[in-house]
Amino acid sequence: MTRLWLAAGLAVTLSACAQQYPHAVQPSGFAASSGSTNSAGAARWAPGYDVSGFYRPAIEIDNASWRIDHVFVGMPEEFDAWRAQGSEPYAVPLWIEFHATDGPARTNAQGREAGRETAGERTRVHAQSFTLAPGRFAFRGANGTIGEVVLSGRIDAHTPGRRGRATDDPAALRADTSIGNERVGEIVFVQIPGE
């Protein structure tokens, strides 16, 4: 029942974005590759809309033996290149990365994450449908390891104080979330600068 409500919410969000942002695009390769002919298989984003970066959950979110590490959103030119190259779901510059909570730990050696210890095994769930437009964020994807992942909510990245500075409300992304067959509820993500 929860999955039905989340699916309905995602469909409403996608429909609202299509009406509010008529210049958003729906690459035919993406819709066809997703196996869906309705709006749930659509890729909609406002051209030039930049909320690129990494979004990390404000608290640790686990599902079985997997934990959300981050949501990645590419730059506008990455979305344009993706569309020009055929819009294949495996190449969309929008994904959620998970890491195993029960595997052997490893320590990152480079970048902003240097010294941070995480589990060794990682997996990504790429978007099979999404909306990315001012204030709106919707994501649906699945893989054989995690199952279906659905996020639907609001993105407010690049607001003054969001990058690298504490604010009263540091959330850059808030999304009602389900992972596999489990509704997680609202997750708050903070934006972190790219490496």
Residue 7: per-residue pLDDT: 43
Confidence band for 4, pLDDT divided at 50, 70 and 90 = very low
Instruction: Convert the pLDDT of each residue in 128-157 to its tens digit.
Output: 999 998 889 999 999 998 999 999 999 986
- What pTM did the predictor assign? 0.71
Residue 85: per-residue pLDDT: 86
Which has the minimum average pLDDT: 14-18, 90-94, 144-148? 14-18
| Residue in this structure with the two tokens 């996020």, named with its chain if needed | 151
Residue 66: per-residue pLDDT: 87
Torsion of CA 108, 78, 172, 188, to 10 degrees: -60
Residue 176: per-residue pLDDT: 94
Instruction: Convert the pLDDT of each residue in 22-73 to its tens digit.
Output: 334 444 445 433 333 334 468 888 888 888 889 999 988 877 778 899 999 9
Radius of gyration of the chain from its Cα atoms, rounded to whole angstroms:
16
Give the strand pairing for 117-119 and 94-100. Answer: unpaired
Q: If 0-12 CB within 10 Å is exposed, 13-18 middle and 19+ buried, where does residue 16 land?
A: middle
Confidence band for 126, pLDDT divided at 50, 70 and 90 = very high
No. of H helices and E strands in the chain?
3, 12
CA distance 153 to 6: 11
- What percentage of residues in the chain have a pLDDT greater than 90? 30
Q: Report which of 141, 145, 150 is spatially closest to residue 123, judged by C-alpha positions.
A: 145
DSSP string, 71-119: EEE--HHHHHHHHHTT--GGG-SEEEEEEESSS-EEE--SGGGTT-EEE
Cβ atoms of 173 and 71 within 8 Å: the answer is yes
CA distance 5 to 173: 20
Residue 120: per-residue pLDDT: 67
Q: If 0-12 CB within 10 Å is exposed, 13-18 middle and 19+ buried, where does residue 122 land?
A: middle
Residue 86: per-residue pLDDT: 81
Token pair, residue 75, equals: 């730059």
Residue 140: per-residue pLDDT: 95
Eight-class DSSP state of 157:
T
